[in-house]
Amino acid sequence: MSKRLAILLSGKGSNMETIARNCAAGFIDASVSFVASDHSNAMGLEKARALGIPVLVLPYEEKGRAGAESCLLERFKQEETDLLVLAGFMRILSPWFVNQLRGKILNIHPALLPSFPGTNAIERAWKAGTKITGVTVHLVDEEVDHGPVLEQEPVRIDPEETLESLERKIHNVEHRLYSRVLREIASGNLSILGGKKQA
């Protein structure tokens, strides 16, 4: 049966948009049940609405993290959602929440973890003068930008590379890689049962 994905974002939502379009086009055998954000004015929510996807604003301000996460979990269950896809979500999920959905939460990070976890990873890799960085898709555990790696793709930093050109390269890889991993999971070629990648 076709999988149901919920997507969590805080910003632009370019990954969400690509995933949603790839679901609609049948490249990923799944549908997006809803898109949630901690910011009511996130650009990604506008994009979701334009695509006809239901959106949910999480009440972090009014109810704090515990209240916001309960609200998210309730909707996740109500909609019989299979996977929670983090795409630029800037809050840290609590250990309690991660435990409720262990093995069902994915994240994308714009570096080759375990290198450059945390924010501004593209810029930090560029400034550090590394020759190769990349993109990681992983399962989420209690630590930030940590958990079993599902897929990685390297990106070379050329001698003339500007931060802007590197960001473009990374985002292009992200869009391709996230959809590819979700396609594999949805088609049953990649099993992540029990929170571990299984061949």
Do 66 and 73 form a contact (C-beta atoms < 8 A)?
no
Comparing CA positions, the residue from 160, 155, 80, 142 lying closest to residue 116 is 155
Tell whether residue 44 is a contact of ligand GRF (CB under 6 A): yes
> Of 109, 138, 171, 175, which is the active-site residue?
109
Name which position in 30, 32, 53, 87 contacts ligand GRF (CB under 6 A): 87
Residue closest to ligand GRF, measured at CB: 88
Name which position in 174, 183, 185, 186 contacts ligand GRF (CB under 6 A): 174
Binding mask 59-78 for ligand GRF (x = CB under 6 A): --------------------
Tell whether residue 109 is a contact of ligand GRF (CB under 6 A): yes
Tokens of 33: 């049940």
Radius of gyration of the chain (CA): 16
Nearer to ligand GRF, 74 or 143 (CB): 143
Q: How many residues bind ligand GRF (CB under 6 A)?
A: 14
**Tokens 């049948």, located at residue:** 26
Tell whether residue 88 is a contact of ligand GRF (CB under 6 A): yes
| 79: phi then psi, degrees, rounded to nearest 5 | -85, 5
**Residue 146 is among the residues annotated as catalytic for this protein:** no
Nearer to ligand GRF, 67 or 161 (CB): 161
Stretch binding ligand GRF (CB under 6 A), from 6-14, 56-64, 73-81, 98-106: 6-14
- Contact partners, residue 173, CB within 8 Å, separation at least 6: 134, 135, 153, 155
DSSP 159-177: TT--HHHHHHHHHHHHHHH
Let me know if 70 is exposed, middle or buried by CB neighbors in 10 A (0-12, 13-18, 19+): middle
Tell whether residue 12 is a contact of ligand GRF (CB under 6 A): yes
Do 146 and 86 form a contact (C-beta atoms < 8 A)?
no
Nearer to ligand GRF, 79 or 167 (CB): 167
Name which position in 6, 7, 9, 48 contacts ligand GRF (CB under 6 A): 9
Catalytic residues: 109
Give contact residues for ligand GRF (rule: CB under 6 A): 9, 11-16, 44, 87-88, 108-110, 174
